[in-house]
Amino acid sequence: MSDDQKDVLIAAYLFEDLADKDFGAILKLAEDKTITIEGAAVVQKDPDGEVHVTEAGDHLGRRGAKLGGGTGLVVGLLAPPLLAATAVGAAAGATVGKFAKHRIESGIGEKLDAALPAGSGGLIAIYDSGGADAVDAALANAVRKSVAHIDGLSAKDLKAGLAEAQAGMGG
């Protein structure tokens, strides 16, 4: 499968620490170069439906990476209104339109809303589609999983949009 094909995984959990456990398993796969990831994040959807990022990892499998870099694409997909404004900063609002467009085209927004009921924890990861089986096997504790596909072009656009957002945040 071409590396241009990316999968966006949304996994939901009954227990947040088990999301963190699976998150660690995904990062380990990336660190071992078994899969190639763009980034991963543990998120919490609060009772009001707002999504907060509680943990993030980058494309090298490093835990605790700050927003930006490899984790940015993951976080970018969650830009407002799905992601609480406080989690990404007001500057991200500048690119809301661009992200929203891609969310709609890929169905990610609907999948995220359906997969993560208010009050639940989840794991989001973007990786090359070739790693799908390994990722699926690593998610031992997910109660519900949903995968959306985005092509390379969309991913590129998303990255570009994200860079724009990050520039705004930096300023």
Partner 1 sequence: MPAWDSLSENSKRLFAHQMEVYAGYSENADHHVGRLLDSIDAMGELENTVIVWIWGDNGASLEGTPTGTFNEGTMVNGLPLTDDEQMQLTLKWGGVEAWGTEMMYPHYSTAWAWAGNTPFAWGKQVASHLGGTRNPLVVSYPDRIKDPGMRSQFTHVSDIGPTILDMVGIPQPTHVDGVEQQPMTGATFAESLEDAGAPERHTQQYFENFGNRAMYKDGWWLAMRMPRVPWRLDPEMLKTFAPGVWDPDADPVELYYLPDDFSQANDLAASNPDKVKELQDLFWAEAEKYNVKPLLAGFSPFFGILPPLGTNTKVTYHGNVQNVAPGLVPRIYNHSYTISADLHIPDGGAEGVIVADGGHLGGFSLFVEDGKLKHTYAFLGVFEYRQESERALPFGDVNVELTFAADEAKPATPGTLTLFVDGEPAGSGRLDHTVPFGFSGYSGLDVGQDTGLVVDRNYADKAPFAFTGTVKKVVFDVAPHLDDQDEHDLHEHASQGHTVRGVTA
In the complex, the residues that contact partner 1 under the rule CB under 8 A are: 12-15, 18, 117-120, 140-141, 143-144
Helix (H) or strand (E) holding 150, with range, is: strand 144-150
Name the minimum Å distance from CB 143 to partner 1.
Answer: 5
Name the minimum Å distance from CB 116 to partner 1.
Answer: 9
Nearer to partner 1, 121 or 161 (CB): 121
d(CA 15, CA 57): 19
Name the minimum Å distance from CB 160 to partner 1.
Answer: 35
d(CA 150, CA 53): 21
Nearer to partner 1, 95 or 120 (CB): 120
Nearer to partner 1, 52 or 144 (CB): 144
Nearer to partner 1, 12 or 40 (CB): 12
Angle between helices 96-106 and 152-170 (to 10 degrees): 160
Helix (H) or strand (E) holding 148, with range, is: strand 144-150
Helix (H) or strand (E) holding 56, with range, is: strand 51-57
d(CA 14, CA 141): 9
Name the minimum Å distance from CB 121 to partner 1.
Answer: 8
